[in-house]
Structure 1
Amino acid sequence: MRFLFLILLSVFLFSCNNSTKEKDGFVNGILEDFSKMPDSVIYKGFAILDTIQLKPVDELVKELRRIPDLQEIGVGDELLRFRLKNGPVMLIKLKEFSSLTKGGATNTAIPPKLLLNTVIAEENSANVVGAQRGENRQHKKALILAPYEWQFENDDAKVPYSKLKNHRNYKGNINYKSNKTEASQNITIDDYLSFNDYDMVYLSSHGSKTCNMKGDAIESTSNCHSYISSGIKFRKNERQQLFDLLKSKNVRGIAFGEAEMFFIPKFFSNAYSELNNKLFIFSACQLGQEGDLGRTFSGILKNGQLFYWQNTIAVKDAFKAFDNMFDRMLQYGETAPTAFENMPDNLKKNIPLYKSEKKRGDSVEVFNYLKMATKGHAMHIIEPISFIDEKTKKELQEDTVYPFEGILEDDQPEEASFTLEFLGYTAQEMEEKSMSFSLKVDGNTVLDHVAFVPDADPYDNIEVKTGKNEKITRVTFKSVNLKKDLKKNSKVKLEAFFHFNEENYGYQMINVSTGSSDMRIVMKAPGGTINMFFDADNYGLKMTHPSEGQTMYSDAEGYVYVNVPGKGWMKTKLAQMFGAMAQLVPIKMDITGLKMNKGSVMHKIPAFAAEINISMLEKEPKAKKISGGIGTEKTVFIYEGRLTITFDSKKRLESLVENGANIHYYYEEQHITMPSAQTLTMSSFIN
């Protein structure tokens, strides 16, 4: 077999005419540009892979050294590397990858002092992945590649998928690609060339390294190389098609096994001149021993982080480490560097792995470390701010009918209270970093860089509460003037900005609905029941007094309509009529004290729904709150010790009750048409 190998090799080696060799990119017999490598040289390398037989490493090395035009040769735990003049890197597998680890074992542990990250994110320089994409930044995209899911019993690629798939920033935008069987081919070179389309990239694969050999010894670690298995496999009859594809895409940094493709770090620096506002996790073995991967990403990252393993890592240990890290980035909202710093040491440092040592007849313990390459801003992988629904105490959902305070379409600006959840920082950290909050409503700024910690004044319009952990703070901004009159049943765009500094911020945008200000009002007293119907579209109001058989109307101009016997419908603005109507209200309230810029005194009854709100009563010394808060459907106050005021689960005024009298509000659609009427004056009575 060895004789056949040498004959085939000689045929390939001497079939190449030197006059046809490419010179572009030629350095010491090495062409870096794959597109300029002659196919004949590439096939020479494959001829060796196809015919060489596995044997002890020293014998393989001696055999390969007999090959003319051999440019380089290197050895690692699992791979043997060689390169012919003007050809690509070719890899011989010395053994199959293990299902328990993410690459080969190493014989020694690298001293911890070499593992420290010398570049750390500067203080107060946080930002969010995808921040450069404007409003669309909240719809983040993640790419998760798991080429060896078929082999790993519990692939750690499932960690980011399970934790991000239902998060509002990533839901529906996770591209999870895996090979569920050994024969699967669901991952392509285009996936590895598409990193700029995503905000977070997670690769779970096998990694390894080789070190160049000089004579019979391995050279210093400065001449070693890291490899990442792409999971892309090919048959012999597919090689030419693969070569043509790689050349057409100007791919560099590729190494070939007999039937699979590997990356060296140069692949990424060739594919990407710059990577901005992104997070990368390469979960594979031995990617940190030579520093080439870290140096490569430090050169192409503008803002972002890369995490990778120093030595050999067991799949189960990788799962535990990233499970904790993603919990900190999501549940605590921390930036990736902060989450890394706060991980328990036993998940990122001195992680033990036992390797069988046949020569000694026992096993040796080696250690692993999680490393970080970082450049520019520290990345949040989610927007660390969200609107909270006061009813459910959970995140506010799109198109929710929001409890705006005021009557819609009355030419007066509405008010509203907003509860926001801020993640990633303690209250003290936010105060020290002078973080602030801004709010826009339909593009107009209504709160501008408002500082909300510390909560020094218990009587102001800002209420601060600690969330479910020390890195979550819930803040309610009460009675915010929206600076515009909202339309009935319309969309309102809310934008929240969590300012880390003058440049960077967390962001959420959500569309809510105004619903309708239409209502049916029932006033009950010992003397009878009065029904009122309010149509916010035309500001029309209808009042019926069933026991008296009376019906009255009022319009936006302030006219009151009455049906006068013998004259038909008449409308008037007589003050005497207003005073008489005020007497119909069954509860002792300063009705005429409410300022009305639209409508008549009758409109003051529906105006209560806007004038009386939770924020106002919380600051009113005469009002005592007796229920309301997390887990309660309604909020109830006692005013002056006599009047019970209740708000429903949507924070709308529901009822006013005093002794045997009450006013109940029902928020229902109304359609009121004013009757055709003559204007009633004093002369109308004389005639």
Structure 2
Amino acid sequence: SFSKQDPTESQNLENEKIKLDCEVEGYPCTYEEVASRVIEESFSALDEAVIALEEGDDIQAAVQYLENRGDVVEIIAEPGGIRFRLKNGPPLWVLNAEAVIAGTKGPGAGEDNSNNFSTGPASPNLQSSGGDDGPIGESKRGEEPYKKALLLSPFYWDFDGDETDVVKHTLEKSHRNYNCENCEVVVKKNTISEDSIDKTDEAYQALKTLYINYEISLDDFKSWDNYDLIHLSTHGIQICDPPACAGMLMTGVYIDVDDYQSTLEVFDTERGVAWAQMGVAGCEIIKKTINDTNASAQKREEASQSWKNKGCGAFPNRYWQLVTPDFFEFNYQNASKPLNEKLIFLSACESMKDLTLAKALAGENTTVYGWTEAVNVGGGGTAAIKFYDFYIRDGLRAEVAFDKVKDRLINDEDNPVLARYKPKGITIEPILPPELLQEGEENTRGREIITLMQPIFRVELEERDAIPTIGAAGDGENDKLLFLIQIDGIDEDLNPDEFVIHLAIDGEELEKTFTPQEKISDYSYWILDEVPLPFDAADREFIELEAWVELPTGGESRHVLEEVELANCGWTGNMSGSKSGKLVGDIVFPKSNLTNANVEELAILADQGYMGPDASSSGLPSPSDFTNLPDFTMFGNRSQFPFMLLIPGQAGNVMLESNGIAVGQQVSINLIEDSQKRVEGSFSVSVTDLMTQSGFSVDGELIWHVDSICSLDVILELAANPLPAGLMQ
């Protein structure tokens, strides 16, 4: 099961200072405040406690040692670890390393527990190019929103890989907000090169930390205010000995036991930074058997195997750096830069076992996720990836995405990724299922939910992409713009009619508003329509286009494109000879989809040359050759005589009128623009009326664009990939 919590009691005014635990409990907040003698005695006690752990059967052996010292003023202990401190000294941690070796994201006993995911809407150092752009719903008119994400994996080398790279791919590939000029998805992870160490070496566990390629430092935990989304994959633990609880996250930084005093000076002024040493219960007992020359070969071999299985010898002679709730409260809330309007995913064991860390991180309208118990790397990664699929790919609210991940994991018991990892020789204690809690803010979103689409090919519009105009470009009359908009993230509990859509062209908002029209997937809707342009489409090549939707929970989501190309087409001409007057190609959009018969007829005509690359075939088509072509496919309004299909740069052209069909015999085209996408120029054509066999001429101007309604490619696309019937009303 999952749990969810909203630690709203931690939300404070931006400039209000929070009392740190060190201030409340009365111990030094920084190492520079601690006497050197006390530091030496504290770390000596830590060393001896780890030895006691490895010489005993469980963590209780280390607890007993500390209790017997007489100078320890605080001990908080659970099977996973101990936090203790000497009088006037800083807190130090003893960590049970068994579960670390067992493939979990935290020291301490635990199985897969991938259903123990908890979340709390609650209220790093990479220098970002600037702060985040604010929450979804608060973007400004005319400005395209963007997002920044920070993905940290300090123990990527220890996890043998985790979900970090997949999360990056999901963010960048799922939505424009994480893949644009101002967007950032920053990935930092500590790795070990495959060719730097032999994993089959007997000393691998003892030596591997010497080969870490560091990308992450303590500073990377201090710049979270510059990002909208923070994903941290690391080791964590929270221990509770009621009424006291203590939690921490590991930064991946370590210092050697032998020279810790000089190294500690670097972190002397850091508040909320602690240090830990890892040990495995019973390892010293096993070591004595291995080194016992009087023991049988079989017993020594069994002891060696047990040594490997338990993870003895891992992370030796290392003090590992931890960050505690004080660290986050001091560096964010108390530094007047609270973590407001964020999504923070703590992919670490026991990161939400109690709410200590969540409260420290909680800013206004921030959603914090974490695990109530130990979780293995595969299970934790699977949950994270599924969450981002719902939250970013589908655009769902955090609460809905959370619930769907919970349901999916509960129903995926046979998923091998979630299988419990229990190596031989390690006893993993059973853990009671956590309580499911849900309260607080539920409507935060990870990205904008409105998208301007290319209405023919139905892909997201990007800068300088083209969309069709409706009407005859160049006739001096105002034309229309065909648009398609997609709204995502409309879950089962929301009413699509409450999502009111607005459009602006060149910064001017249109009077008409729209609502989602056709459901096209579980959480997405389309609206297809035409809106008036305040000019003849021939007069402009690009426009600024902005769409935004009113969110039922408040605010607006928007998509802004500074330059959208107009895919206009049309022609005007004057007749002479047996006919006179002006012709205008009145281009319209089909209101029903093409049939296979329509497409086949179009293909035949193209193949014969009347609509193809040449018109070399002899003879003229009969009127019956065109009877299967629907009026609306022929790029004009047949109720008005003026209709002509002219394929620029090609010889074939056809004129249709209400009482007859005329086919051009001779065509002359003078182009003033001829690019891969656009053709513009003048034409002259000699035409034969198939009904009267009389000839006449037409001279005029033409505009044609490859993505316009005049393009045969567009017509064939509409035939091969029809629009939903509900959009063609």
Amino acid at match of 2:460: E
Asked if 1:279 corresponds to 2:343, the answer is yes
In 1, the alpha carbon distance for the partners of 2:567 and 2:514 equals 33
* Deviation, structure 1 residue 208: 1.6
Match of residue 353 from structure 2: 289
Deviations 1:303-346 (A, max 9, x none): 13111111121222223222322222234321121111223535
* Deviation, structure 1 residue 168: 1.6
Greater Cα shift, 361-370 or 164-173: 361-370
Deviations 1:210-246 (A, max 9, x none): 34xxxxxxx42x3122222221223358756765554
In 2, the alpha carbon distance for the partners of 1:59 and 1:270 equals 34
Deviations 1:605-661 (A, max 9, x none): 5xx45xx2334x649xxx999869xxx999814835999776999xxxx97546233
Match of residue 504 from structure 2: 440
Residue 398 (structure 1) aligned to one of 451, 457, 463: 463
Alignment of 1:443-522 (within 5 A): 443-447=507-511, 450-453=513-516, 464-467=517-520, 469-478=521-530, 480-483=531-534, 491-501=542-552, 503-514=554-565
In 1, the alpha carbon distance for the partners of 2:145 and 2:400 equals 21
* Equivalent pair of 1:140/1:199 in contact (CA under 8 Å): yes
In 2, the alpha carbon distance for the partners of 1:429 and 1:268 equals 36
**Structure 1 residues 401, 664: CA separation in 2 closer, same or farther (over 3 Å shift)?**
farther
In 1, the alpha carbon distance for the partners of 2:477 and 2:261 equals 73
Amino acid at match of 2:526: R
Amino acid at match of 1:476: L
Match of residue 613 from structure 1: 587
In 2, the alpha carbon distance for the partners of 1:373 and 1:41 equals 44
Match of residue 103 from structure 1: 106
**Structure 1 residues 118, 342: CA separation in 2 closer, same or farther (over 3 Å shift)?**
same
Match of residue 55 from structure 2: 55
Match of residue 384 from structure 1: 449
Amino acid at match of 1:223: A
Say which SS state the counterpart of residue 341 (structure 2) adopts.
strand
* Equivalent pair of 2:83/2:246 in contact (CA under 8 Å): no
* Deviation, structure 1 residue 422: 0.5
* Equivalent pair of 1:385/1:421 in contact (CA under 8 Å): yes
* Deviation, structure 1 residue 176: 0.7
* Equivalent pair of 1:385/1:508 in contact (CA under 8 Å): yes
Deviations 1:125-172 (A, max 9, x none): xx9845556466632111111112212245122331121122321126
Match of residue 168 from structure 1: 176
* Deviation, structure 1 residue 484: 5.6
In 2, the alpha carbon distance for the partners of 1:440 and 1:626 equals 39
Aligned length: 530
In 1, the alpha carbon distance for the partners of 2:646 and 2:522 equals 31
Match of residue 229 from structure 2: 200
In 1, the alpha carbon distance for the partners of 2:26 and 2:491 equals 57
Say which SS state the counterpart of residue 633 (structure 2) adopts.
strand
Amino acid at match of 2:450: I
**Structure 1 residues 323, 80: CA separation in 2 closer, same or farther (over 3 Å shift)?**
same
In 2, the alpha carbon distance for the partners of 1:626 and 1:44 equals 90
Residue 84 (structure 1) aligned to one of 83, 86, 103: 86
Residue 244 (structure 2) aligned to one of 188, 200, 223: 223
In 2, the alpha carbon distance for the partners of 1:516 and 1:108 equals 59
* Equivalent pair of 1:88/1:255 in contact (CA under 8 Å): no
* Deviation, structure 1 residue 487: 8.5
* Equivalent pair of 1:437/1:447 in contact (CA under 8 Å): no
* Deviation, structure 1 residue 261: 0.9
Match of residue 27 from structure 2: 30
Amino acid at match of 1:416: L
Amino acid at match of 2:221: Y
* Equivalent pair of 1:255/1:262 in contact (CA under 8 Å): yes
In 1, the alpha carbon distance for the partners of 2:352 and 2:493 equals 36
* Equivalent pair of 2:467/2:482 in contact (CA under 8 Å): no
Match of residue 639 from structure 1: 638
**Structure 1 residues 210, 116: CA separation in 2 closer, same or farther (over 3 Å shift)?**
closer
Match of residue 409 from structure 2: 347
* Deviation, structure 1 residue 441: 1.8
In 1, the alpha carbon distance for the partners of 2:189 and 2:437 equals 25
**Structure 1 residues 58, 276: CA separation in 2 closer, same or farther (over 3 Å shift)?**
closer
Match of residue 684 from structure 1: none
**Structure 1 residues 323, 59: CA separation in 2 closer, same or farther (over 3 Å shift)?**
closer
* Deviation, structure 1 residue 195: 0.9
List runs of 5+ in structure 1 lacking aligned partners: 1-23, 122-126, 212-218, 454-463, 524-531, 533-580, 593-604, 674-687
* Deviation, structure 1 residue 94: 3.1
Deviations 1:271-302 (A, max 9, x none): 222222221111111223223233334xx321
Say which SS state the counterpart of residue 340 (structure 1) adopts.
helix
* Equivalent pair of 2:136/2:444 in contact (CA under 8 Å): no
**Structure 1 residues 191, 485: CA separation in 2 closer, same or farther (over 3 Å shift)?**
farther
* Equivalent pair of 1:494/1:511 in contact (CA under 8 Å): yes
Amino acid at match of 2:251: S
Amino acid at match of 1:193: K
In 2, the alpha carbon distance for the partners of 1:664 and 1:416 equals 30
Asked if 1:311 corresponds to 2:373, the answer is yes
Asked which structure has the greater RCO (Cα within 8 Å, sep 6+), the reply is: 2
Rg comparison, structure with higher value: 1
Deviations 1:340-398 (A, max 9, x none): 12235351699898697999x98765465697887546222121111111232111121
List runs of 5+ in structure 2 lacking aligned partners: 1-20, 124-132, 193-208, 278-317, 612-631, 675-679, 683-729
Sequence identity (%): 19
* Equivalent pair of 2:136/2:448 in contact (CA under 8 Å): no
**Structure 1 residues 170, 641: CA separation in 2 closer, same or farther (over 3 Å shift)?**
same
In 1, the alpha carbon distance for the partners of 2:646 and 2:71 equals 86
Normalising by structure 2, what TM-score? 0.61
Match of residue 578 from structure 1: none
Say which SS state the counterpart of residue 290 (structure 1) adopts.
coil
RMSD (CA atoms):
4.7
In 2, the alpha carbon distance for the partners of 1:169 and 1:176 equals 16
In 1, the alpha carbon distance for the partners of 2:372 and 2:492 equals 35
* Deviation, structure 1 residue 256: 4.2
Normalising by structure 1, what TM-score? 0.65
Amino acid at match of 1:441: I
Say which SS state the counterpart of residue 190 (structure 1) adopts.
helix
* Deviation, structure 1 residue 107: 7.3
Deviations 1:89-123 (A, max 9, x none): 2112332513522124547999x9x99989799xx
In 1, the alpha carbon distance for the partners of 2:443 and 2:430 equals 34
**Structure 1 residues 262, 412: CA separation in 2 closer, same or farther (over 3 Å shift)?**
farther
In 2, the alpha carbon distance for the partners of 1:474 and 1:264 equals 47
Asked if 1:140 corresponds to 2:169, the answer is no
Match of residue 419 from structure 1: 484
* Equivalent pair of 2:95/2:107 in contact (CA under 8 Å): no
In 2, the alpha carbon distance for the partners of 1:648 and 1:331 equals 40
In 2, the alpha carbon distance for the partners of 1:371 and 1:136 equals 40
**Structure 1 residues 237, 140: CA separation in 2 closer, same or farther (over 3 Å shift)?**
farther
* Equivalent pair of 1:402/1:514 in contact (CA under 8 Å): yes
